[in-house]
């Protein structure tokens, strides 16, 4: 059993979590109280994503489906079928009319949310796709996979614009655009995070010190109080680096197993992390000095 | 048309087909020039495991024709002839015609196929260009396509009476045998082959990383998937990984040809639209480049790989050009053995040859290559704002071919990324 994904709602009031127990749960982001549980998948869930208006959640499951949940009616409103194997990752575009997903069938799929239908299938990789997301204006998609490749796609035509790869091509476990969308942050299973300028195809920063050799650990940006890169680790700790200097600034200890899920709050200095098997907890880390009284 | 204007237009035409020797003449722009208004390729798929392993050539062509018509908004009724360069699919002309019809090209548009083995794509361009030069047509399409997964090279069979002649016997032997013959006769060491192979792999991988191929690939939709990225290029190739590979043809002497220093086997298609400069300008079609001409030669079958050594000087001298006049060469890398020999024998610097890698890295779908070289070469000339391209290849059974093209496209600004 493991908690696979954590995401704060766009307004920061809620925290959504997904787990191998086939459930999506909603929590109050400030008090930690459980608010709601969504049930419907027939297998464990790998990832969740919020729509930009905070009204919908999408969940990606080993049951090969993506389910869209409405917070207003408190129920599943659509099931997106098409992937032929576990769906591993999912994200909305900023306009939230499209979803992008990736999975063990090695494809990246773009979905029309309103019609609940697959619009594009990209045979994107030669191994399971571990992460997909849109950039800030929805024109580009980034994907990464266990084949070690990071690919950037034109969202409209589905054309691959470039392929970023480091010499040894270690398994790539996570990738996302930076908040200004000029860089992509990639986590690879050689215990390294790399910040790539994808326009000139150069790796501009690397962050090390944590352990990532086996699991798909997400990495996040934290921008509420400076510029930081945050990642989970297989030694049960959360690592925080200064984005520019690459200096390891802080290590958060408390979890007792691998940290598989991580989220940074959109407006406050809060980090949420979650773990697996030996420690099925979600922990919220606060910078108390910054909380308004 | 009055007698005077008819005579003068005929005079213009024969003048343009015979004129144009020397660099400045080649670079001139005349209304009867044959120009290329569209040049794109599909992504390539590795043999047996790649993205086209189940997609026969008719389906590849149908989707490429459709994507081309959508992108160019060309009214297909304006196409006056199509020529498809392809080697081994059964019934090539029938399936090409079916694919064209299925893509929405009207039955009034005729089609043919041409097979001069590895040069078939260049021959398709040559056939359409020469038909335009002769005045028979004014707008045509040249295609190069091959699916080596579904249509591998069949073993040619000849009768004993024919086989008795030594060169006839040699000319049907497998390509790998000719690679070993060139390597051993011209003493191209395994080390040298691997060095040239490494250049190809490295350049192609870097080009893929820089997103260069996105400018020349047209995404095609096949069975609900959008195919737009080569699955053939291998990142991270090193001298160590190349030198550890075992020779694949150990039966033929001191073998040195390996899977890493031979052209990859793959599937793909490419297409060019050709017309007259006059027609392109009057109909507002973007002019990417100009066809200058080609040359075909025969060489000793056993050493078929040396084809470019004969073809390149022939085409250059035909047009009064020196090898220094050429900005980029696309010389097919059938095998590093013959490629290394040709490059060194022709004495052309490697930084002008296959700047984004060649067949060793990207694969050599036989019929596609002749068109792919033009697509890739023109795209690179465009980026460099340079002028002349010379494409060349060796040809199975002992031949060579070469073509010359002028880039007329301005560098792209505001590319997607």
pLDDT in tens, A117-139: 999 999 999 999 999 999 999 99
CA distances to A5, A77, A102, A154, B224 from A97, rounded to whole Å, are 22, 15, 17, 16, 20
Residue of A158, A167, A199 with shortest CB distance to B228 = A158
pLDDT at B415: 57
pLDDT in tens, B15-67: 445 556 899 999 999 999 999 999 999 999 999 999 999 999 999 999 999 99
Which residues of B are known catalytic residues? 118, 394
Residue of A148, A163, A198 with shortest CB distance to B417 = A198
Residue of A158, A161, A163 with shortest CB distance to B416 = A161
Q: Which of A159, A199, A203 to mutate to test the interface with B (most CBs of B within 10 A)?
A: A159
Name residue A272's beta-bridge partners: A263, A284
Give chain B positions within 8 Å (CB) of A167. 235-236
**Contact: A162, B219; criterion CB under 8 Å:** no
CA distances to B12, B80, B182, B327 from B348, rounded to whole Å, are 36, 39, 19, 11
**Contact: B417, A169; criterion CB under 8 Å:** no
CA distances to B42, B145, B168, B235, B411 from A160, rounded to whole Å, are 12, 21, 46, 16, 21
pLDDT at B16: 45
Mean pLDDT of B123-130: 98
Mean pLDDT of B223-236: 94
pLDDT at B413: 75
**Contact: B417, A107; criterion CB under 8 Å:** no
> How far is B249 from B255, CA to CA, in rounded Å?
6
Query: pLDDT band at A225, cuts 50/70/90?
Result: confident
CA B172 to chain centroid = 22
Mean pLDDT of B264-286: 97
Give chain A positions within 8 Å (CB) of B219. 157-159
**Contact: B210, A201; criterion CB under 8 Å:** yes
| pTM of structure | 0.91
Residue A141's φ and ψ, nearest 5 degrees, are -125, 140
CA distances to B77, B93, B177 from B141, rounded to whole Å, are 12, 14, 35
CB of B187 within 8 Å of a chain A CB? The answer is no
CB of B224 within 8 Å of a chain A CB? The answer is yes
pLDDT at B249: 87
pLDDT at A81 over 90: yes
Separation in Å, CA of A190 to nearest CA in chain B:
16
- Cα nearest neighbour of A151 on chain B: B209
Average pLDDT value over all residues in chain A: 95
Mean pLDDT of A272-283: 93
Query: pLDDT band at B5, cuts 50/70/90?
Result: low
pLDDT at A35 over 70: yes
ipTM of predicted assembly, 2 dp: 0.87
Mean pLDDT of B122-146: 98
pLDDT in tens, B296-327: 999 999 999 999 999 999 999 999 999 999 99
CB of A84 within 8 Å of a chain B CB? The answer is no
pLDDT at A290: 63
CB of B409 within 8 Å of a chain A CB? The answer is no
What secondary structure, in 3-state letters, does chain B show?
CCHHHHHHHHHHHHHHHHCCCCHHHHCCCCCCCEEEEEEEECCCEECCCCCCCCCCHHHHHHHHHHHHHHHHCCCHHHCCEEEEECCCCCCHHHHHHHHHHHCCCCCCCCEEEECCHHHHHHHHHHHHHHHHHCCCCCEEEEEEEEECCCCCCCCCCCCHHHHCCHHHHHHCCCHHHHHHHHHHHCCCCHHHHHHHHHHHHHHHHHHHHHCHHHHCECCEEECCEEECCCCCCCCCCCHHHHHCCCCCCCCCCCCCCCCCCECCCEEEEEEEEEEEHHHHHHCCCCCCEEEEEEEEEECCHHHHHHHHHHHHHHHHHHCCCCHHHCCEEEECCCEHHHHHHHHHHHCCCHHHECCCCCHHHHCCCHHHHHHHHHHHHHHHHHHHCCCEEEEEEEECCCEEEEEEEEECCCCCCCCCC
Structural domains of chain B ordered from first start: 3-151+266-289 (3.40.47.10), 160-213+292-403 (3.40.47.10)
Average pLDDT value over all residues in chain B: 94
Query: pLDDT band at A1, cuts 50/70/90?
Result: confident
């Amino acid at each position: 059993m493991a908690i696979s994904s954590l995401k704060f709602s766009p307004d920061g009031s809620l925290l959504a979590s997904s787990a191998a127990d086939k459930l999506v749960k909603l929590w109050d982001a400030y008090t930690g109280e459980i608010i709601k549980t969504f049930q419907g998948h027939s297998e464990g869930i790998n990832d969740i994503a919020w729509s930009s208006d905070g009204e919908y959640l999408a969940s990606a499951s080993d049951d090969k489906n993506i389910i869209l949940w409405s917070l207003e009616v408190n129920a599943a409103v659509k099931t997106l079928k098409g992937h032929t194997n576990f769906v591993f990752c999912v994200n909305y575009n900023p306009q939230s009319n499209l979803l992008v997903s990736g999975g063990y069938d090695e494809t990246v799929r773009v979905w029309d949310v309103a019609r609940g239908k697959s619009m594009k299938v990209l045979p994107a990789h030669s191994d399971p796709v571990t992460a997909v997301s849109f950039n800030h204006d929805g024109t580009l998609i980034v994907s990464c996979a266990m084949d070690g490749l990071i690919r950037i796609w034109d969202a409209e035509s589905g054309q691959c614009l470039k392929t970023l790869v480091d010499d040894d091509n270690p398994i790539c476990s996570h990738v996302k655009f930076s908040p200004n969308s000029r860089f992509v942050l990639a986590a690879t299973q050689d215990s390294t995070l790399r910040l790539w300028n994808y326009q000139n195809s150069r790796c501009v920063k690397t962050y090390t010190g944590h352990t990532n050799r086996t699991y798909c650990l997400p990495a996040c940006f934290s921008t509420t109080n400076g510029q930081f890169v945050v990642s989970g680790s297989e030694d049960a700790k959360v690592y925080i680096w200064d984005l520019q200097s690459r200096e390891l600034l802080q290590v958060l200890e408390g979890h007792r197993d691998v940290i598989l899920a991580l989220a940074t709050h959109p407006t406050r200095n809060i980090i949420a992390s979650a773990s697996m098997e030996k420690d099925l907890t979600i922990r919220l880390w606060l910078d108390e000095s910054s909380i308004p009284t | 048309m009055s007698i005077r204007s008819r005579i003068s237009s005929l005079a213009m035409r024969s003048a343009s087909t015979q004129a144009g020797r020397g660099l400045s003449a080649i670079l001139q722009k005349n209304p009867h020039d044959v120009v290329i208004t569209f040049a794109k390729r599909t992504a390539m798929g590795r043999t047996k495991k790649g993205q086209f392993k189940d997609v026969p050539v008719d389906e590849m062509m149908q989707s490429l024709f459709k994507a081309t018509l959508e992108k160019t908004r060309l009214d297909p009724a304006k196409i006056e002839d199509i020529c498809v360069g392809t080697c081994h699919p059964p019934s090539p002309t029938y399936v090409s015609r079916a694919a064209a019809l299925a893509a929405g090209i009207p039955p009034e548009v005729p089609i043919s196929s041409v097979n001069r083995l590895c040069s078939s794509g260049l021959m398709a361009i040559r056939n359409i260009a020469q038909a335009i030069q002769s005045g028979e047509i004014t707008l045509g399409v040249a295609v190069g396509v091959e699916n080596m997964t579904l249509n591998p090279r069949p073993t040619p069979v000849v009768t004993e009476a024919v086989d008795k002649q030594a060169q006839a016997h040699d000319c049907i032997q497998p390509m790998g045998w000719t690679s070993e013959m060139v390597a051993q006769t011209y003493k191209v060491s395994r080390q040298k082959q691997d060095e040239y192979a490494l250049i190809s792999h490295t350049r192609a991988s870097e080009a893929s990383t820089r997103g260069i191929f996105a400018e020349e690939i047209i995404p095609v939709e096949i069975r609900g998937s959008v195919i737009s990225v080569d699955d053939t290029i291998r990142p991270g190739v090193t001298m160590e990984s190349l030198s550890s590979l075992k020779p694949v043809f150990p039966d033929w002497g001191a073998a040195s040809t390996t899977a890493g220093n031979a052209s990859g086997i793959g599937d793909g298609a490419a297409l060019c639209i050709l017309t007259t400069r006059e027609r392109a300008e009057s109909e507002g079609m973007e002019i990417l480049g100009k066809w200058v001409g080609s040359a075909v030669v025969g060489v000793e079958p056993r050493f078929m790989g040396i084809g470019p050594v004969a073809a390149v000087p022939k085409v250059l001298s035909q047009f009064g050009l020196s090898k220094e006049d050429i900005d980029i060469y696309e010389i097919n890398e059938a095998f590093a053995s013959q490629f290394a020999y040709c490059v060194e024998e022709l004495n052309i610097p490697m930084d002008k040859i296959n700047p984004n890698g060649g067949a060793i890295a990207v694969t050599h779908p036989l019929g596609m290559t002749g068109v792919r070289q033009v697509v890739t070469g023109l795209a690179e000339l465009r980026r460099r704002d340079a002028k002349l391209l010379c494409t060349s290849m060796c040809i199975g059974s002992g031949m060579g071919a070469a073509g010359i093209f002028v880039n007329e496209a301005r560098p792209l600004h505001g590319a997607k990324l």
